[in-house]
Chain A
Amino acid sequence: MTTTGAGTPQPSAEELRRRAVRQRQARRRTLVAGASSVVVLGALAALVVTSPGWPVVQETFFDWAYGREVLPAVFEGLLLNIRLTIIATVCIAVLGLGLALARTSTAAALAPLRILATVYVDLFRGVPTLLVILLVGFGVPALGLAGVTSSVVVLGTTAVILTYSAYVAEVLRSGILSVHPSQSAAARSLGLTAGQTLRHVVLPQGIRRVVPPLLNDFVSLLKDTGLISVLGVVDAIRAAQIESSRSFNYTPYVVAALLFLVLTIPLTRVTDRFMLRSIARQNAQVGV
Chain B
Amino acid sequence: MSAAGPAAAGTTGPGTTTPVLAVDDVHKSFGTEQVLRGVSLAVPEHTVTVLIGASGSGKSTLLRCVNLLTRIDDGTIRLDGRDISDPEVDPDEVRRQIGMVFQSFNLFPHLRVLDNITLAPRRVHGVPRDRAEAAGLALLERFGLADKAQQYPDRLSGGQQQRVAIVRSLAVAPRLMLMDEVTSALDPVLVNEVLATVRELKGEGMTMVIATHEMGFASQVADEVCFLESGRILERGEPEQVLHDPHEPATRDFLRRVHEAGRL
State whether B119 touches A190 (Cβ < 8 A).
yes
State whether A191 touches B92 (Cβ < 8 A).
yes
User: Closest B-chain residue to A186, C-beta based?
Assistant: B106
Interface string of B35-47 (1 = CB under 8 A from A): 0000000000000
Interface string of A194-229 (1 = CB under 8 A from B): 001000110011001000000000000000000000
User: Closest B-chain residue to A206, C-beta based?
Assistant: B110
State whether A190 touches B102 (Cβ < 8 A).
no
Interface of chain A residues 146 through 202 with chain B (CB within 8 A): 182-183, 185-193, 196, 200-201
Expressed in whole angstroms, the minimum distance between the Cβ of B34 and any Cβ of chain A is 22
State whether B124 touches A191 (Cβ < 8 A).
yes
> Is B67 an interface residue, CB under 8 A from the partner?
yes
With a CB–CB cut-off of 8 A, which chain B residues contact A288? 154, 158
B: interface residue count bin:
20 to 34
CA of A204 to CA of B64 in the docked complex: distance in angstroms? 25
> Is A285 an interface residue, CB under 8 A from the partner?
yes
Interface of chain B residues 124 through 167 with chain A (CB within 8 A): 124-125, 154, 158, 165
State whether B110 touches A196 (Cβ < 8 A).
no
Q: A200 with B119: in contact, given A186-B102, A189-B67 (CB under 8 Å)?
A: yes
State whether A190 touches B106 (Cβ < 8 A).
no
> Is B172 an interface residue, CB under 8 A from the partner?
yes
With a CB–CB cut-off of 8 A, which chain B residues contact A284? 154
Q: A190 with B154: in contact, given A183-B106, A183-B108, A196-B123 (CB under 8 Å)?
A: no
> Is B18 an interface residue, CB under 8 A from the partner?
no
Expressed in whole angstroms, the minimum distance between the Cβ of B187 and any Cβ of chain A is 12
Q: How would you classify the secondary structure of chain A's contact residues: helix, strand, loop or mixed?
A: helix
Expressed in whole angstroms, the minimum distance between the Cβ of A279 and any Cβ of chain B is 15
> Is B169 an interface residue, CB under 8 A from the partner?
yes
State whether A205 touches B110 (Cβ < 8 A).
yes
Expressed in whole angstroms, the minimum distance between the Cβ of A284 and any Cβ of chain B is 7
State whether A192 touches B124 (Cβ < 8 A).
yes
User: Closest B-chain residue to A194, C-beta based?
Assistant: B92
User: Closest A-chain residue to B96, C-beta based?
Assistant: A191
With a CB–CB cut-off of 8 A, which chain B residues contact A186? 100, 102, 106-108, 165
Contacting B69 at CB < 8 Å: which of A183, A189, A193?
Answer: A189
Interface string of B88-100 (1 = CB under 8 A from A): 0001110110111
State whether A189 touches B124 (Cβ < 8 A).
no
Expressed in whole angstroms, the minimum distance between the Cβ of B90 and any Cβ of chain A is 9
CA of A280 to CA of B213 in the docked complex: distance in angstroms? 34
> Is B197 an interface residue, CB under 8 A from the partner?
no
CA of A192 to CA of B168 in the docked complex: distance in angstroms? 13
CA of A192 to CA of B91 in the docked complex: distance in angstroms? 10
CA of A185 to CA of B101 in the docked complex: distance in angstroms? 10
> Is B56 an interface residue, CB under 8 A from the partner?
no
With a CB–CB cut-off of 8 A, which chain B residues contact A285? 109, 154
Contacting A190 at CB < 8 Å: which of B64, B104, B158, B169?
Answer: B169
Q: A191 with B172: in contact, given A186-B102, A201-B108, A204-B110 (CB under 8 Å)?
A: yes
State whether B95 touches A189 (Cβ < 8 A).
yes
Contacting A188 at CB < 8 Å: which of B95, B125, B165, B168?
Answer: B95
Residues on A lying within 8 angstroms of B by beta carbon are 182-183, 185-193, 196, 200-201, 204-205, 208, 284-285, 288
Residue pairs across A and B with Cβ atoms less than 8 A apart, 16 shown, are: A185-B69, A186-B100, A186-B106, A186-B107, A186-B165, A188-B92, A189-B67, A189-B69, A190-B95, A190-B169, A192-B123, A200-B119, A205-B108, A205-B110, A285-B109, A288-B154
Residues on B lying within 8 angstroms of A by beta carbon are 64, 67, 69, 91-93, 95-96, 98-100, 102, 104, 106-110, 119-120, 123-125, 154, 158, 165, 168-169, 172
Given contacts A200-B123, A288-B154, 8 further A-B contacts (CB under 8 A): A182-B102, A187-B108, A190-B95, A190-B96, A191-B96, A200-B119, A201-B119, A205-B108
